[in-house]
Amino acid sequence: MANVHQRIRSDHATEIAEDYVEAIADIITRNGQCRANDLVRLFDVTHATVNNTVARLVRDGFVTTEPYQPLDLTSTGKTLARKCRERHEVVRAFLLALGVSDATAIADSEGIEHHVSQETLIAMKQVLDTRSLPDGV
């Protein structure tokens, strides 16, 4: 009864790590490299905040940095990014299939993705694979 709540609370730090790692991977894909400033713009926080967070990511083995150089993901970081990106995609596609607007699908998936278990993810994928919900509903 209690552990459910514990999990939710401790997950918060992980969520931000996931958001950053996912973003870094995306930006590298798009631009060839990712600089701290790109994250500043994306998340709309200050340089100092990005620095703090990136320092934690380095500490936790997801990212490598060198002074005044672009950020890089470790292989652990890349794996996490891939997992997050896929999960994020599934959730967004699922919400769209549910029939909500693009904007809502984007906004909600951003928050929901971190709380979707493997089992739920598979269930969502199944729905996406076997039928389009929107006209079926």
Partner DNA sequence: CCTAAAAGTTAGCCTCGGCTAAACCATGAG
Partner DNA sequence: CTCATGGTTTAGCCGAGGCTAACTTTTAGG
CB nearer DNA, residue 19 or residue 88: 19
CA distance 89 to 83: 10
Contact 123, 92 (CB under 8 A): no
Nearest to 43 by CA among 57, 22, 12: 22
Minimum CB–partner distance for residue 100 and its own copies (Å):
5
Q: Which stretch binds DNA (CB under 7 A): 23-31, 60-68, 98-106, 112-120?
A: 60-68
Residue 52 binding partner per list its own copies, DNA, none, with a CB distance cut-off of 5 to 8 Å that depends on partner kind: DNA
Nearest to 127 by CA among 93, 100, 82, 102: 93
Tell me phi and psi for residue 67, to 5 degrees.
-50, 130
Q: Which stretch binds its own copies (CB under 8 A): 27-35, 55-63, 74-82, 101-109?
A: 101-109
Q: Which two tokens stand for residue 89?
A: 């995609």
CA distance 33 to 47: 17
**What is the contact surface with its own copies in residues (CB under 8 A)?**
1-9, 11-12, 15-16, 19, 41-44, 95, 98-101, 104, 106-108, 110-112, 114-117, 119-120, 123-124, 126-127, 130-131, 133, 136-137
**What is the contact surface with DNA in residues (CB under 7 A)?**
9, 12-13, 15-17, 35-37, 40, 43-49, 51-53, 56, 65, 67-68, 70
